[in-house]
Structure 1
Amino acid sequence: MSDLRETGLQHETQLLRLATAGSVDDGKSTLVGRLLYDTKSVLADQIDAVTRASVDRGLDTPDLSLLVDGLRAEREQGITIDVAYRYFATPKRSFVLADTPGHVQYTRNTVSGASTAQLVVLLVDARKGVISQTRKHAAVLALLGVPKLVLAVNKIDLVEDPATVFAQICEEFNTLTRSLGWAPGDVQEIPVSALHGDNVATRSENTPYYSGPTLIEHLESVPVDADVHGRHEVGLRMAVQYVIRPRTADHPDYRGYAGQIAAGSVRPGDEIAVLPSGIRTTVERIDTADGELDVAHAGRSVTLILSDDIDISRGDVISSPVDAPEPISDFEATVCWLAEKPLRPGARLLLKHGARTTQAIVGSLEERFDEQNLTSDPHPETLELNEIARISIRVAEPIAADDYKINRRSGSFLLVDPAGGNTLAAGLVGDGLADIELGNRVPA
């Protein structure tokens, strides 16, 4: 598993990155526990511990949510408040799953967990249907460019007319996802009972109205892009995290540039451009802890040895010269505000893009997105917790960023509190609202 997570070579056929999202008490922890249990990804002693804890609670069957709610405070409250990464596998694929909380105040955790996901399982309670938090999560996932969705209609066994309820929820959800920019083939609806395992790993006889795949079958077969970090094929992108100069007797002249490849691939002999300076050179060698490589793909951590001794610092971006992004200092972006203190025009913050951190000033708040009504509010005075808006930003040092629609990794950034270092917003370069059908959109 560790090799797959690091190399990034086999995402399309063997590794799927997914996340869960949903409202409180929709059953996310139980579903994740069911996935781990049914794929035999937990040890026998863990199952025994869960069984004992369930008996102590007076339950007749094991509470599988305890497999993932590891913190005692969470268990006592019956909620999940952190983002936990789980690993499981089937004979066809390996999976990295980000289990995110459902409380509205933890939208930042949903953003974090879904930011690198190729697919998100969005749960709704069959008894409640599509609610405001469902719409908020769907809007955030659309802005993050998550390519595939699964609508898991959970607790389907608790409604009187499950076939009708399932059809109504799917119709409402499909109307929403079409407005948010997903094509019909990007969304799969599945009626499930995470508690009893219906349509999770095995097909259920209790849902004769449903003829589609189980959740596991869909996760095993859903097509995923080779470049999981973008919607388009782009050339090499690698932010320089460290400049390595050991200055040892064995390597007196060694100078390497270390980082993780965010997009594309690189081979010895490839021409590259260093941004923001624009200087060009060629790759002489690709070093790793396991030795030299003939080629490195997106997701791989490498050290590049270049042919020329040029000035490169932490935060610079090594890029393919063919489609290298133009460094930007003034730009528009879409942000999800994650702080209690509201954002106002003129705020002076830090912007973190890749390995570069620079001072930034927020210009105007262009429009605020209302995800409940799919409308926009032009030029709001403030941006409150969990609100989404298109804003203008000026940075002290130019950043080599792609439009987020072109590449998720190189088009994303964070806004940070310069005093405390807390993350204040997750940002996407460009107009993330452009693909959403807004009823009263003000032309940009």
Structure 2
Amino acid sequence: MATQESSYKVDALISKDIEAYLDQHQNKSLLRFITCGSVDDGKSTLIGRLLYDSKMIFEDQLAALEADSKRVGTQGQEIDFALLVDGLAAEREQGITIDVAYRFFATEKRKFIVADTPGHEQYTRNMVTGASTADLAVILIDARKGVLTQTRRHSYLAHLIGIRNVVLAVNKMDLVDYSQEVFDKIVADYTEFANEIGIKNFVPMPISGFKGDNIAGPSENTPWYDGPSLIGHLETVDVDLDAALAEPFAMPVQWVNRPNLDFRGFSGLIASGTVKPGDAIRILPSGRTSTVSRIVTMTGDLDQAGAGQSVTLTLADEVDCSRGDVIATADHPPQVADQFQATIVWMDDEALLPGRAYWMKLGSRTVSATIQHPKYAIDVNTMAELSAKTLSLNDIGVAEVYTDRGIAFEPYGDNHALGGFILIDKATNHTVGAGMIDYALRRSQNVHWQAVDISREAHAAQKNQRPRLLWFTGLSGSGKSTIANLVEKKLHAMGKHSFLLDGDNVRHGLNKDLGFTEADRIENIRRVGEVAKLMTDAGLIVLTAFISPFRAEREMVRSMLPDGEFFEIFVDTPLAVAEERDVKGLYKKARAGQIANFTGIDSPYEPPESPEIRIDTTSETPEAAAERIVATILGQE
């Protein structure tokens, strides 16, 4: 019996020890950091070493690691720590990292989440992803190679994204015989570059991820180095976690929480500041005001909540608030604008198309945005501002961004959550760019909609018709202009008020400054769309006959108009038939190389996927097509 009681006491003591350990571990501060640099600088090896030295590898993992190291032929049959991180088969085959790998480890003093990002230039976009949530960057440099272009690019991106704690880890010191001269030369080169891009302070240290020098403790191989070890620095570096709490309160709404008729709350992650019941708030972009009633969480109501916490707020008034809105302190709310200057990192193989509409996602708000021609691109080697007409993969540039509505924001330097955005291609749904808002353009604050007494409905009623935009699209020579002209003649004969905007005619005046490059075609359609919208506001039935080869631009024009007013009419003529007609002789010139960027020859045409009306000109005459279009349009009034 006494033995059983002793066993219970031992179990109780063990249980208390475990609870104490878990409590201590839970209350440790968390540091998120990123390792970056050029390809094969040893980032994965370093992270593997950190996991090993912090005792975060289980015995079965270590056994598998040793076996894998022997299989891939690691020098001297030592452990290849990179294999702990390079989990993708392609990475193991090539010996490089091509994705962002996140790893967790902890020491007695702190918890860590480290992002191992790819060093190869074509995967720079993955580095941006990893850096977006990091508090510190470990910039690795191969001691044999020194400062490389990718080292500069990653350093500039880390600084641009707002990382202010930088470690310059000169790796593979064992391969240069731990030479202080080599180390000092690399530090001097990097210091010169860091000063150019605004990195004020960084901590240089000579390391060997493979051998473990200066990783967990000081190395006997570098007696000339008296700085901290890498883990020692990571454990003690001061990360300003209170900065976000000191800012004015702001929370993007991610979800309107309505479980029943008696509860309506607004859920989100607090981006900055603190909030408590009774605080006056303003909802943006609408500007409506109210006060906070409750701060609701899964574990109960809170008396106060701050940056980094996910909460649900209930308000004293029934105000209009939805996903994408920002709830902010009433006295110091974020700005609202629809035109910005932004720094953009282009992350797609297809270059930026100025004027094309992309989805822009900032916080929980998604809007349509167009990027203007870049003011300049940045050379990461010299920091020179270079003239640029577009941005290609990995380019960094500054450009103006126009959104289709006002959005709440803060400059990225003041608030990362309210100033950072991504760009998404509307056709492919691929993330193509990341951006940081610098400031709102002054004209976005000074130009306002002028209220008018005669509405578009009044204009339409006066003409006794419903405004329409009949958008004829198809290859050159398909018969768009012929059919559009017949449709307008029939509408005019019926007493309808209409106007035909023809592609060639518009290029004689409004768009005479535009060529036929992809970017110019996009701008051509944007301008025509804006003019057509104004004409429908006047109550007219507008007809346009343009090749308009890209779906994205046709959808952009559709989005300008109320539902049901845009009719996409696809004049479907096979290329061979259109080329055989060749009324203007353009196909012949294009085939001879006298015309560049000609649709169907050396420039693509993207046919509509779901047009309102499709005309097959191989089986339907222009007259019959016009009759069917008029009957369809007027039959819906």
State how 1:186-225 maps to structure 2 within 5 Å: 187-225=202-240
Counterpart for residue 117 of structure 2: 100
Q: Would the aligned equivalents of 2:367 and 2:403 in 1 still touch at CA under 8 Å?
A: yes
Q: Would the aligned equivalents of 1:116 and 1:229 in 2 still touch at CA under 8 Å?
A: no
Per-residue deviation at 1:344?
A: 3.3
CA distance in 1, matches of 2:414, 2:332: 11
> 1:103-124 deviations in whole A, cap 9, x for unaligned?
1011111111001111000101
In structure 2, relative to structure 1, the CA distance for the partners of 1:417 and 1:228 (3 Å cut) is farther
Q: Would the aligned equivalents of 2:374 and 2:398 in 1 still touch at CA under 8 Å?
A: yes
CA distance in 1, matches of 2:56, 2:273: 32
CA distance in 1, matches of 2:377, 2:417: 24
Match of 2:438 among 430, 433, 443: 430
CA distance in 2, matches of 1:86, 1:229: 25
Which amino acid in 2 is paired with 1:428? M
Per-residue deviation at 1:362?
A: 1.4
Counterpart for residue 143 of structure 1: 160
Per-residue deviation at 1:363?
A: 2.1
CA distance in 1, matches of 2:340, 2:375: 12
State how 1:377-388 maps to structure 2 within 5 Å: 377-378=386-387, 380-388=388-396
Per-residue deviation at 1:97?
A: 1.1
Counterpart for residue 307 of structure 1: 316
320-329 vs 352-361, greater mean Cα deviation: 320-329
CA distance in 2, matches of 1:359, 1:55: 53
* Match status 1:134 vs 2:151: yes
1:203 is paired with a residue of what secondary structure?
coil
Counterpart for residue 342 of structure 2: 333
CA distance in 1, matches of 2:311, 2:209: 41
Counterpart for residue 37 of structure 1: 52
* Match status 1:239 vs 2:252: yes
Match of 1:408 among 409, 413, 416: 416
In structure 2, relative to structure 1, the CA distance for the partners of 1:90 and 1:213 (3 Å cut) is same
* Match status 1:281 vs 2:290: yes
Q: Would the aligned equivalents of 1:414 and 1:423 in 2 still touch at CA under 8 Å?
A: yes
Per-residue deviation at 1:345?
A: 2.3
1:34 is paired with a residue of what secondary structure?
helix
2:82 is paired with a residue of what secondary structure?
helix
In structure 2, relative to structure 1, the CA distance for the partners of 1:229 and 1:126 (3 Å cut) is farther
Per-residue deviation at 1:215?
A: 0.3
CA distance in 2, matches of 1:396, 1:314: 17
CA distance in 2, matches of 1:23, 1:424: 22
Q: Would the aligned equivalents of 2:152 and 2:381 in 1 still touch at CA under 8 Å?
A: yes
> 1:319-375 deviations in whole A, cap 9, x for unaligned?
122321221101110000111111132121111111111111112311111111111
In structure 2, relative to structure 1, the CA distance for the partners of 1:290 and 1:315 (3 Å cut) is same
Q: Would the aligned equivalents of 2:373 and 2:389 in 1 still touch at CA under 8 Å?
A: no
In structure 2, relative to structure 1, the CA distance for the partners of 1:172 and 1:50 (3 Å cut) is same
Match of 1:421 among 395, 411, 429: 429
Per-residue deviation at 1:161?
A: 6.1
Per-residue deviation at 1:265?
A: 1.8
Match of 2:198 among 181, 194, 213: 181
Alignment gaps of 5+ in structure 2? 1-24, 440-637
CA distance in 1, matches of 2:211, 2:177: 17
In structure 2, relative to structure 1, the CA distance for the partners of 1:261 and 1:354 (3 Å cut) is same
2:159 is paired with a residue of what secondary structure?
helix
215-224 vs 58-67, greater mean Cα deviation: 58-67
Q: Would the aligned equivalents of 1:335 and 1:390 in 2 still touch at CA under 8 Å?
A: yes
Which amino acid in 1 is paired with 2:252? A
Q: Would the aligned equivalents of 2:28 and 2:111 in 1 still touch at CA under 8 Å?
A: no
CA distance in 2, matches of 1:210, 1:227: 33
1:365 is paired with a residue of what secondary structure?
coil
Which amino acid in 1 is paired with 2:310? S
> 1:15-43 deviations in whole A, cap 9, x for unaligned?
11111101111100000001111111222
More helix by share: 2
CA distance in 2, matches of 1:145, 1:229: 13
Which amino acid in 2 is paired with 1:25? D
Per-residue deviation at 1:73?
A: 2.2
Alpha-carbon RMSD:
1.9
CA distance in 1, matches of 2:150, 2:376: 21
Q: Would the aligned equivalents of 1:11 and 1:226 in 2 still touch at CA under 8 Å?
A: no
Alignment gaps of 5+ in structure 1? 1-9, 432-444
CA distance in 1, matches of 2:366, 2:400: 18
347-356 vs 187-196, greater mean Cα deviation: 347-356
2:203 is paired with a residue of what secondary structure?
strand
Report the TM-score, using the length of structure 1 for normalisation: 0.90
Q: Would the aligned equivalents of 1:20 and 1:123 in 2 still touch at CA under 8 Å?
A: yes
CA distance in 2, matches of 1:44, 1:320: 52
State how 1:6-25 maps to structure 2 within 5 Å: 14-25=29-40
In structure 2, relative to structure 1, the CA distance for the partners of 1:87 and 1:151 (3 Å cut) is same
Counterpart for residue 7 of structure 1: none
CA distance in 1, matches of 2:182, 2:380: 23
> 1:168-227 deviations in whole A, cap 9, x for unaligned?
10111111111111223xx10010000011001121000111100000011011111124
Which amino acid in 1 is paired with 2:412? Y
Which amino acid in 2 is paired with 1:155? K
- In our comparison, the structure showing a higher alpha carbon Rg is 2
CA distance in 1, matches of 2:213, 2:416: 34
CA distance in 2, matches of 1:33, 1:307: 52
CA distance in 2, matches of 1:228, 1:129: 35
Which amino acid in 2 is paired with 1:255? R
Per-residue deviation at 1:235?
A: 1.2
2:294 is paired with a residue of what secondary structure?
strand
> 1:366-407 deviations in whole A, cap 9, x for unaligned?
1111111111014x2111111011100110121111001101
Per-residue deviation at 1:70?
A: 1.4
Q: Would the aligned equivalents of 1:234 and 1:323 in 2 still touch at CA under 8 Å?
A: no
290-299 vs 27-36, greater mean Cα deviation: 290-299
State how 1:331-410 maps to structure 2 within 5 Å: 331-378=340-387, 380-410=388-418
CA distance in 1, matches of 2:213, 2:187: 18
In structure 2, relative to structure 1, the CA distance for the partners of 1:196 and 1:161 (3 Å cut) is closer
1:166 is paired with a residue of what secondary structure?
helix
> 1:39-89 deviations in whole A, cap 9, x for unaligned?
112222111110111122343211111111112221121111111211111
Q: Would the aligned equivalents of 2:377 and 2:391 in 1 still touch at CA under 8 Å?
A: yes
What number of residue pairs does the alignment pair up?
Answer: 414
Per-residue deviation at 1:160?
A: 4.2
CA distance in 2, matches of 1:164, 1:11: 43
Match of 2:62 among 9, 29, 47: 47
1:319 is paired with a residue of what secondary structure?
strand
Per-residue deviation at 1:12?
A: 11
CA distance in 2, matches of 1:275, 1:11: 36
Q: Would the aligned equivalents of 1:239 and 1:355 in 2 still touch at CA under 8 Å?
A: yes
In structure 2, relative to structure 1, the CA distance for the partners of 1:149 and 1:344 (3 Å cut) is same
CA distance in 2, matches of 1:11, 1:262: 23
CA distance in 2, matches of 1:342, 1:365: 12
In structure 2, relative to structure 1, the CA distance for the partners of 1:180 and 1:173 (3 Å cut) is same
Match of 2:94 among 77, 100, 105: 77
Q: Would the aligned equivalents of 1:227 and 1:264 in 2 still touch at CA under 8 Å?
A: no
Per-residue deviation at 1:11?
A: 12
> 1:278-318 deviations in whole A, cap 9, x for unaligned?
11111111111222222222111111111111100110011
